[in-house]
Amino acid sequence: MTAQVYDLRDEDSLMQPALAAAAKAVSLHNYFIGGALFDSAGHLVAQAYGATVIAGEIFHGETQLAVLLRAGRASGVFPVDEWFTLVTTLQPCPQCRQICIQQKKLLVLYGAPTPTSGAELGDLLETYTNTEKRRIEENDGQPVVRPANLSAVVRQQCVEGHRQHRNPVLRVLDEVSMGLMPFTDLLELVETTDPTVIPRIRAFQDKRRGERV
């Protein structure tokens, strides 16, 4: 099997695995929010979905993928000096945005704007922290979090998908939260294209833990 190589300039195509992850999220009673991580050659590294309902409030797809990138770089599984691209169907929430910005050489492209962001939240989202300023310098002065360049059709899939599935989730959120699956590990639900990635990260982590005792 030959792995598909994505053209990083074709942001419609980059959005496709993110949309697929969002569809999976909905099938598992979560919001329609999905993300995909690509390496600098255009290989799909991993997909993740916002598992807020089934796993807990911090299980946002962007956070899971940023944690994968960080852990993978620390383990030597991913290169430190290459750019990665994280594509998400929905504008990241403030905490995911910050977690992404804390990663070096990570570009974040989103589909739909956050429907709940009013002017005040919008201002907050646009606030450049010192970390973000460094990231922007690394990216030749260009923003590191920005809307994807999408065709109207694909953008509408992002917007409508979230809109259609949002209210039913909101209605059951408290009820379902009572029965959260006991996940505590942010890499538990990430689907990597290469199945050896997470075992290699685990092996590195276990080794380092062993060295410390």
Residue 199: C-alpha distances to residues 14, 28, 36, 203 (Å): 26, 25, 19, 6
Nearest one of 2, 88, 102 to 37, comparing CA atoms: 88
Residue 123: C-alpha distances to residues 69, 109, 118, 137 (Å): 28, 19, 8, 21
Indicate the SS3 state at residue 178. coil
State the minimum distance, in angstroms, from the CB of residue 184 to Zn ion.
17
State the minimum distance, in angstroms, from the CB of residue 58 to Zn ion.
8
State the minimum distance, in angstroms, from the CB of residue 76 to Zn ion.
27
State the minimum distance, in angstroms, from the CB of residue 7 to Zn ion.
27
Q: How far apart are CA 167 and CA 31, in angstroms?
A: 9
Q: How far apart are CA 202 and CA 22, in angstroms?
A: 26
162 near Zn ion (CB under 5 A) = no
Total number of residues binding Zn ion (CB under 5 A)? 3
Only segment of 19-27, 95-103, 105-113, 191-199 that touches Zn ion (CB under 5 A) = 95-103
Out of 26, 90, 93, 106, point to the residue binding Zn ion (CB under 5 A).
Answer: 93
Backbone angles phi, psi at 186, to 5 degrees: -70, -10
Spatial neighbors of 112 by CB under 8 A, at least 6 apart, are 89, 90, 91, 155, 158, 159, 162
DSSP assignment letter at 43: B
Only segment of 16-24, 65-73, 90-98, 116-124 that touches Zn ion (CB under 5 A) = 90-98
Only segment of 64-72, 93-101, 126-134, 152-160 that touches Zn ion (CB under 5 A) = 93-101
Out of 60, 73, 155, 165, point to the residue binding Zn ion (CB under 5 A).
Answer: 60
Out of 19, 69, 96, 108, point to the residue binding Zn ion (CB under 5 A).
Answer: 96
State the minimum distance, in angstroms, from the CB of residue 50 to Zn ion.
7
Binding-site ranges for Zn ion (CB under 5 A): 60, 93, 96
